[in-house]
Amino acid sequence: MQITTSTFGTWQGQDVIKYTMENDNGVQVSVLNLAALLQAYAVPTKDGGHKNLVLSSDTVAGFMDNGLCLNKSIGRVANRIGGGHFFIDGKEYQVEQNEGNNNIHGGSHGFKDQIWDAATDQVDDQLQVIFTKTFTEEMDTFPGTENARIVYTLHKDNSLTIDFFASSDQPTLFNPTNHTYWNISDDDTIENVKLTLNSKHHLAVNEGKIPTGEKLVNEGTPYDFATATRMGDALAQMKAQTAESGFDDYFVVEPSNTLDHMPVAIMNDPATGREVKIYSDRNAMIMYTANGLDNDVKDLDHPAQPWLAMALEGQTLPDAINNPAFGDTVLRPGKPQHYQLQYVVKF
């Protein structure tokens, strides 16, 4: 087992460093101090090579010169806050409106737009890269000073965990995620990948993708992934029925706090036998299938086209601060928070 480092490029005059963890089975996980992002999750192939299970790039531009949020850590708050407006304990707050009237993915100076401090560690048979960063109201417009820590851990069983930690000196928000795009197949799209979601409902949204509060039944619709469903079949239905020609949707899932629970999502590729099980301790899985992506997007490791990969983002339901029934995303002084995503692979 080993961790190696290399210079990946520069961003706003700062060095971007790549950290590659490799376990004794030849599984390689590479992360960048830029956006604390997942650059590669590569598993051995039968021909002696490696297959990167995530859409990626070999350049800084590939991650930063488009709106994909490609494989980035997202925070302080993932997805959207309606109007960028909310109350905590009766006090009113207004944060940056960086998507129309709404705040999305922590604003334009959130987790995804920063160089993070980094350290490495090996604990027993686990390899770790630890990213830390302090966010102030002057940086990202969210209240309070938030100390964030993101830990990537590669285990000897080839699984990967991403742990998100935060503390704050005053009440603020914390609902992070990882915006990784997956394509576990050897194809240029995800159409032959099968997906299962531990979900019975998805959220109704308004024209700005803000939840209305209503939960819609999945059964009997293209949103039904209760059993393994070929993505191409579901996407064909969405293309026929929606203007977006794919998924950009909020699924209500049953949290899986440990591996003893059912995963929130399972991806399976029948052609190769590869499988990824996703575990999350929160109640939402956001799915985006790269709809409408075209060759104007450069520097990806696959030709840019619709449905080339799917982002699956475990988090608390979007705009929860304005919908109390969705969950509590308030981070309070003296009460640090910890969330975890876990990926279990078979290859």
Which three-class secondary structure state does DSSP give residue 332?
strand
Of the listed 96, 146, 179, 202, which one is catalytic? Answer: 179
Which three-class secondary structure state does DSSP give residue 347?
coil
73-74 and 177-178: which strand pairing? Answer: antiparallel
d(CA 54, CA 31): 12
Amino acid at 42: A
Burial of 127 (C-beta count, 10 Å sphere; 0-12/13-18/19+):
buried
Structure tokens at 188: 């240029």
Burial of 29 (C-beta count, 10 Å sphere; 0-12/13-18/19+):
buried
Structure tokens at 261: 């629970």
Report cis status (omega within 30 of 0) of the bond before 76. yes
d(CA 276, CA 122): 24
Of the listed 105, 146, 202, 313, which one is catalytic? Answer: 313
Is residue 137 annotated as a catalytic residue, yes or no?
Answer: no
Q: Are 53 and 42 in contact (CB under 8 A)?
A: yes
Is residue 313 annotated as a catalytic residue, yes or no?
Answer: yes
d(CA 284, CA 318): 8
Which three-class secondary structure state does DSSP give residue 67?
coil
Which three-class secondary structure state does DSSP give residue 324?
helix
Structure tokens at 248: 């950009």
User: Any residues with CB less than 8 A from the CB of 287 and at least 6 apart, and which?
Assistant: 197, 247, 248, 249, 251, 310, 311, 312, 313
Tell me the catalytic residues: 179, 313
